[in-house]
Amino acid sequence: MTNKENTPLALSTISDVERDTGVAKETLRVWERRYAFPQPLRDPNGERIYPQDQVQKLRLVKRLIDLGYRPSKIIQHSADELRALTGQATSVKATSVAPPELQGYIDLCKSHQMEALRRKLSQALLMMGLKSFVIDLVAPLTALVGEAWASGILATFEEHLYTESLTVVMRSAIFAMPQANGNSHGAPRIMLTTLPQERHGLGLLMAEAMCVAESAHCISLGVQTPLIDIVEAAQAQRVDIIALSFSVAMNARQALDGLAELHTRLGGHAELWAGGSNVALKRRRPPYVRVFALNELQSAIADWRQRHPR
């Protein structure tokens, strides 16, 4: 039997925390000095390392900041108090039951029945069709899973299991769709990826499904592509549009800086489209980026075709 007292604590480096919470390293250091939180430990080299309970609390703090709270007003609250505030701010109690049509998926995820989850998702896809499946089921379910993870209701590995299960189903659906030829009349060439700091890919996958359903020619680079590689690929593939996904976890400043640099490097040779729940796209939308929700992609592609008759 394993002695729990001898089990090493799960610790995260400051880079891990920045990536997993969306709080910049500089901000973490400022909060440490100003508010005495977080309170990292030190590794043998003197580098900051963070216990998981502090990482979990930082996720909650970041979520509330995105909802309009000031750090000074919430950072001294306990994790339970932060979860309650999150529930109030989103008009959903943190312990509330998911809508009935989504609860079954959450139950399968929490009980780790991944094969059953994939079957249930696949059955829904067959019944609903790809576009309705993405808009009416996958989008709200993924948001619910994200909220449950941020508030500690779902463990990180359970969120990962959900992500992998859904990815399998979505990829199969995308591959089964008739693929537009890159030279087809009226078929925009859309390259999909995320910036190097964004490791969440479900938003990207949902966008790809919607674009394929609209007979666009899609080129997916996956997540965390360096800017120079995005530009090189865009030129080599002669893309019309670069579509980027930004989750709530990504640092807003990094998102805006990355978009600005990408815009400069592209020199107007491709349109920049973006989507996701990141605050950078809501409060400080750059003028050179077109921001769309998933349910707006159909009209966005139709508009592109009108602007680019062939």
Contacts made by residues 37-40, CB under 8 angstroms, sequence distance 24+? 37/75, 37/76, 40/14
Residue 158 reports pLDDT greater than 70: yes
Please compute the mean of the pLDDT values over residues 80-88 and round it to a whole number: 80
Tell me: pLDDT of 96 over 60: no
What mean pLDDT comes out for the span 112-118?
95
- Tokens 């605050």 locate to 279
Q: Which of 10-24, 88-102, 290-304 has the lowest mean pLDDT?
A: 88-102
Q: Which of 55-64, 92-101, 177-186, 266-275 is most confident?
A: 266-275
- 95-102: average pLDDT: 68
Q: How far is Cα 71 from Cα 172, in angstroms, rounded to an integer? A: 43
| Average pLDDT value for the chain | 88
pLDDT tens across 227-239, in order? Answer: 999 999 999 999 9
In sequence order, what DSSP letters do the residues of 147-182 get, joined into one string?
A: HHHHTTSS-HHHHHHHHHHHHHHHHHHHHHSPPPPT
Q: How many CB atoms lie within 10 A of CB 149?
A: 20
Would you state the pLDDT for residue 221? 96
Of 193, 261, 255, the C-alpha closest to 224 is 193
Model pLDDT, residue 48 = 94
Which residue segments constitute the domains of the chain, with CATH numbers given? Answer: 4-89 (1.10.1660.10), 100-176 (1.10.1240.10), 189-307 (3.40.50.280)
DSSP 240: S
